[in-house]
Structure 1
Amino acid sequence: MATLLEYLPLILFFAVYKLVDIYWATGVLIASSIIQLAYHYFHSGKIATRHWVFFAIALVLGGMTILFQDEHFIMWKATVIYALLSLSLLVSRYFFNKNLVETALLGLLKSVNEKEQGKNAELDISLPKSVCEQLNIMWMLLLAFISVLNLYVAYNFSLDTWVNFKVFGLMGITFGAILVTMARIYKYLPDDN
């Protein structure tokens, strides 16, 4: 259910675009992002910073798309988000000496372990720093590449092609990167996981 909710704005954006047009789709993207925020608030009592950031970007660029009737503003949304993510990895690692990819991976593994073993289960896992560094660089470069690729597709192909790329291409690239990440850390996972 949580995974579906994460992708709900994107799914609705795609469906409404195919049924109506980009401006209605953008309005639905903003509205479904509000619903997503409300769900997170009522479900867990808080809203993660990333949800606020994604919503703010959707609201500003989506609002400009609707106000000025210019789809180029919404086309910039993915570029801004992926560029900010890439920049976050860069700044946190080289200015604050914190590897966000390592933090996210260990948090995810801990969460999976708690669901399988119970709340008080200890997670006996450590990832080599060199592997975490490689993965941080991989994700930083990949996110920067995606931000540029989104603009390339937006300005060199039709609106239909860009929407399909945004929904299926970006999701495919991200899924592929997740598979590479999992393959890279697999041998460091405990045998029972």
Structure 2
Amino acid sequence: MSFLIEYLPLILFFTVYKFVDIFWATGVLIVASLIQVTHQYFTKGEVAKRHWIFLAIAIILGGMTILFHDEQFIKWKATIVYAILGSALIVSKYLFNKNLVKTALEGVLSSVAEKEQNQNKITLPEKDCDQLNLFWSVLFFFIAALNIYVAYNFSLDFWVNFKVFGLIGLTFVALLFTMFKIQKYLPED
């Protein structure tokens, strides 16, 4: 269910785009993002920072897309989001000495261990976490650049399909690489 809530704005954007147009799809993206943030607030008592960022960018760029009736603004959304994510990984690591990828991975692994009632705390070596942090930051910058390249060199239909399926595909492959990298540190059971 959380997967559906996480990707609901994107799913609705794609669906409405295919049946209506980019401007209606953009409006639905804004409303779905608002619903997503509201749902998270009322079910968890807090909203993840990334959802606030996605919502703000959707409102600003989506609002400009609708106001000026120009799809160029919404095309920049993914580029800005991924550039922010890449920058956050680099800045947190090299300015604040905090590896966000390590924090995220250990949080996920700890919650899995708790669900399986495994009391062993899973820790990942700094070297591997630093490599993964760099990998994800480079990937995010690459996706940011690739999105804007596709947006301006291909049709709107191609860009929407790339945004929905291409970016999810790239992220899935990166997750597989990450899982492969950390699997040797997971408990046997």
Task: Give the TM-score normalised by structure 1.
Answer: 0.96
Identity of aligned residues (%): 65
State the AA in 2 paired with 1:185.
I
**Which stretches of structure 1, 4 residues or longer, exceed 6 Å deviation after superposition?**
none
1:15 aligned to 2:15? yes
1:132 aligned to 2:134? no
Tell me, what secondary structure is at the counterpart of 1:98?
A: coil
1:177 aligned to 2:177? no
* Mapping of residues 29-108 of structure 1, within 5 Å: 29-108=29-108
1:163 aligned to 2:130? no
Q: 1 CA distance for matches of 2:90 and 2:119?
A: 31
Question: 1:116 Cα shift?
Answer: 2.5
Q: CA RMSD in A?
A: 0.8
Q: 2 CA distance for matches of 1:112 and 1:60?
A: 37
CA deviations 1:2-57 (Å, max 9, x no partner) are: 11100000000000000000000000000001111111111011111111111000
State the AA in 2 paired with 1:170.
L
Question: 1:171 Cα shift?
Answer: 0.1
Task: Give the TM-score normalised by structure 2.
Answer: 0.98
Q: Does the Cα contact within 8 Å between 2:86 and 2:136 map onto a contact in 1?
A: yes
Tell me, what secondary structure is at the counterpart of 1:134?
A: helix
Question: 1:110 Cα shift?
Answer: 1.0
Q: Does the Cα contact within 8 Å between 2:110 and 2:121 map onto a contact in 1?
A: no
Q: 2 CA distance for matches of 1:123 and 1:151?
A: 44
Structure 2 gap ranges (5+):
none
Q: 2 CA distance for matches of 1:28 and 1:46?
A: 23
- Greater Cα shift, 166-175 or 36-45: 36-45
State the AA in 1 paired with 2:178.
T
Q: 2 CA distance for matches of 1:114 and 1:62?
A: 40
1:187 aligned to 2:184? yes
State the AA in 1 paired with 2:60.
V
Question: 1:123 Cα shift?
Answer: 3.6
Q: 2 CA distance for matches of 1:158 and 1:62?
A: 19
Q: 2 CA distance for matches of 1:184 and 1:68?
A: 46
Q: Does the Cα contact within 8 Å between 1:154 and 1:162 map onto a contact in 2?
A: yes
* Mapping of residues 112-131 of structure 1, within 5 Å: 112-117=112-117, 122-131=119-128
